[in-house]
Amino acid sequence: MKFNQEEFEILREISKNPKSSQRKIAGMLNISVGKINYCLKALRKKGLIKLKNFTRNPKKTNYLYILTAKGISEKTKITINFMKRSMQEYDELKNELKKDLNNQKNKS
């Protein structure tokens, strides 16, 4: 399943605060409300989130966004892959710095 960074960030935000409105999520992630709406529909279509309406709330536009089991699993996989890439980049930079330091010592 292909993900973009924005979908991942939305999943993270929903997992932190499922009662957030689309407007609040948009503000937190610095994304337009229209794009949030589009992404939420895509995440729902993929089966990663579900929406529940607050039935007792007079404002019927308020929703609770819930990560499904599949959504939790995908978010976890993405997080693990991100951490692996980050650690690999860290190791590469560390090795590069060591080489640079060794080259400087050899020149002195």
> Residue 2: which region, alpha, beta or left (left: phi > 0; alpha: psi -120 to 50)?
beta
Determine the Cα–Cα distance for residues 92 and 55; give it in Å rounded to an integer.
53
The total number of structural domains in the chain stands at 1
Whole-prediction pTM: 0.68
- Give the tens place of pLDDT for each residue, 2-59: 567 888 899 999 999 888 889 999 999 999 999 999 999 999 999 999 988 765 656 5
Residues 6+ apart with CB under 8 A from 49: 11, 14, 40, 43, 65, 66, 67, 68, 71
pLDDT value of position 60: 53
Determine the Cα–Cα distance for residues 46 and 1; give it in Å rounded to an integer.
9
φ, ψ dihedrals at 69, nearest 5°? -60, -40
pLDDT value of position 11: 92
Domain that holds residue 43: 5-107
pLDDT value of position 105: 82
Domain of residue 56, CATH code: 1.10.10.10
Q: Please answer whether residues 9 and 29 qualify as being in contact, where contact means their C-beta atoms are separated by less than 8 angstroms.
A: yes
Determine the Cα–Cα distance for residues 49 and 52; give it in Å rounded to an integer.
10
